[in-house]
């Protein structure tokens, strides 16, 4: 009889342990709104990086009527491709406009404000460059109009660089989401808003796509990684 009771007790303890492990495993699979947003933001940084590299790859060429197609078309195609990248970055964040999470909604609004400006500038750049490098179109304009267009075109790279620099600012706002505002038993704020599973997932995502330090987007991803690998505990860490 004692042997049966002992076996029953062992089975009960083992069952309880299995339930605890299973509950922990299920908790690692549940992801919060902060994680989803930051994951998509990191994804948008991939498109930002691609656009940045394309802009740097082929600078605006000097117009040469004899070699117009050879010089201009690759540049315009590169601009159109970078434009598509910026629009994809915006699309990745736009889905959070209707979220019920106030923190995520505010962060998304800040990021989209910048991404909107980037897309608008990119659209304007493609239109302006296409017009400037069209010899027939330019001949229809007077000298004053031609000079005005050329002046606008010269300002485009500087405007784009200024918007690129603002990417660091919105990234700082996004990193604030990583910190939990729930204090521990001693009243200290020492946890992130992510579980250990979410944390590892984001670190891997950043390491896979932002190993180098080629662009501002790499630096932004590095900012997020620095918080994820810091001393703060995960949300579900004892």
* Residue pLDDT tens, the chain, 238 long: 555 656 655 555 455 544 433 333 333 345 689 999 999 999 999 999 999 999 888 777 775 555 555 678 888 899 999 999 999 999 999 999 999 999 999 999 999 999 999 999 999 999 988 888 777 777 777 777 878 888 888 898 899 999 999 999 999 999 999 998 887 777 788 899 999 999 999 999 999 999 877 899 999 999 999 999 999 999 888 7
Closest to 167 measured CA to CA, from 115, 225, 210:
115
Cα–Cα distance for residue pair 197/25, rounded to 1 Å: 10
DSSP 161: H
pLDDT given at position 29: 40
pTM (two decimals): 0.80
CA distance readout (Å), 82 to 148, 209, 233? 25, 18, 38
* Cβ-contact 51, 85 below 8 angstroms: yes
pLDDT given at position 11: 59
pLDDT given at position 15: 53
Taking phi over 0 as left and psi of -120 to 50 as alpha, with beta for the rest, 91 belongs to alpha
Cα–Cα distance for residue pair 48/207, rounded to 1 Å: 16
Closest to 43 measured CA to CA, from 77, 85, 79, 106:
85
* Cβ-contact 139, 65 below 8 angstroms: no
Cα–Cα distance for residue pair 235/195, rounded to 1 Å: 5
Cα–Cα distance for residue pair 195/236, rounded to 1 Å: 5
Dihedral angle of Cα 129, 217, 99, 199, to the nearest 10 degrees: 160
């Amino acid at each position: 009889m004692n042997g049966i009771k002992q076996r029953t007790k062992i089975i009960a303890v083992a069952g309880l342990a299995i339930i605890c492990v299973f509950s922990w495993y299920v908790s690692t699979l549940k992801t919060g709104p902060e994680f989803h947003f930051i994951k998509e933001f990191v994804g948008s940084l991939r498109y930002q990086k691609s656009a940045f590299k394309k802009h740097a790859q082929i600078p605006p060429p000097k117009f040469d009527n004899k070699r117009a197609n050879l010089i201009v078309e690759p540049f315009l195609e590169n601009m159109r491709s970078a434009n598509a990248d910026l629009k994809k970055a915006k699309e990745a964040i736009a889905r959070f406009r209707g979220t019920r999470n106030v923190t995520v909604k505010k962060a998304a609004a800040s990021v989209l404000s910048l991404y909107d400006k980037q897309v608008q500038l990119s659209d304007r750049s493609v239109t302006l460059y296409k017009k400037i490098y069209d010899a027939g179109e330019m001949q229809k304009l007077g000298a004053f109009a031609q000079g005005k267009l050329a002046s606008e075109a010269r300002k485009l790279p500087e405007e784009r660089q200024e918007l690129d620099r603002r990417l660091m600012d919105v990234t700082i706002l996004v990193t604030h989401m990583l910190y939990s505002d729930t204090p521990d038993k001693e009243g200290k704020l020492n946890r992130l808003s992510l579980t250990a599973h979410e944390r590892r997932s984001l670190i891997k995502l950043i390491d896979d796509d932002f190993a180098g330090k080629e662009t501002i987007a790499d630096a932004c991803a590095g900012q997020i990684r620095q918080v994820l690998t810091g001393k703060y505990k995960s949300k579900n860490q004892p």
